[in-house]
Structures are given as structure tokens and as C-alpha cells.
Amino acid sequence: MEEKETAVVFPEPGKPVRGSQTGKPVMVLLDLLGRRWAMSILWHLSDTNQTFREIQKRCDDASPTVLNTRLKELRAAKLVMKADRGYALTDDGKKLYAYLEPLDSWADIWAENIR
């Protein structure tokens, strides 16, 4: 039986998103990444492919509905793909993660500074 893909609504560059009517790509990306569990999914896929259940476990047992929606959005945005064993980051997803890693380091320093 063939898996049926449903249409996924996700933010697209050039269209308004929360906090920005311009649809500027960086604002669209931040809207997507600001959705519940999106960053966590990217973070957990950065080191290895994961099955749905593994991602769910690493995301504090996120609801299957929300997790499935987020994976569909990230796949539609071409940041995540289905792989031999579950899900993996695409090349663009890996590049995005490489940009996010320094932000993580900066956030650690920032957290210390505001304590």
C-alpha cells in the first residue's frame, strides 16, 4: 500500500509570517524554527539518523500528532528527509545546524552573563 502524502502548510519566503509581514527569508525560517519541537528535532538529527520513536523519546515524549506535523513541515522545507533508518537532515539541514552551533555557544555565555 502506497503512503499518501497530505498537503503541508508551512511558512514560505515571500509570504507573511508571525511577526513579519515582509516574508523575508530569515523571518520565515525563524517562524518555522520557533514552532514547537522544530529546533529539538533538528538538534537531535544533527548527530545521527533517528526513527520516529527515537525522536519522540528525545523530545520528551512529544505528542505523535505534533511531532508528525513538525516532521512534515521540516520535510516540506527540505531540512529533513526520510532515510534508510528513520529521518535525517538534508544537506541544507546540516548547513543550518552548522550555523546554529555557534549560537548555542553564544547562548551558554549569555546565560552566564545574565545570572
Amino acid at 78: K
CA 96 to chain centre: 10
Per residue of the chain (115 residues), give pLDDT as tens.
444 555 666 777 777 778 778 888 888 898 899 999 999 999 999 999 999 999 999 998 789 999 999 999 999 999 999 998 899 999 999 999 999 999 999 999 999 999 8
Return the pLDDT at 93: 97
The sign of the CA dihedral 31, 74, 93, 45 is positive
Domains and CATH numbers, the chain: 25-114 (1.10.10.10)
Rounded to two decimals, the pTM is: 0.84
Q: What is the DSSP string of 32-85?
A: HHTSTTHHHHHHHHTTS-B-HHHHHHHTTS--HHHHHHHHHHHHHTTSEEEETT
Return the pLDDT at 42: 96
Alpha-carbon gap, residue 71 to 77, rounded angstroms: 10
Return the pLDDT at 11: 76
Residue tagged 548527530 (cell numbers):
47
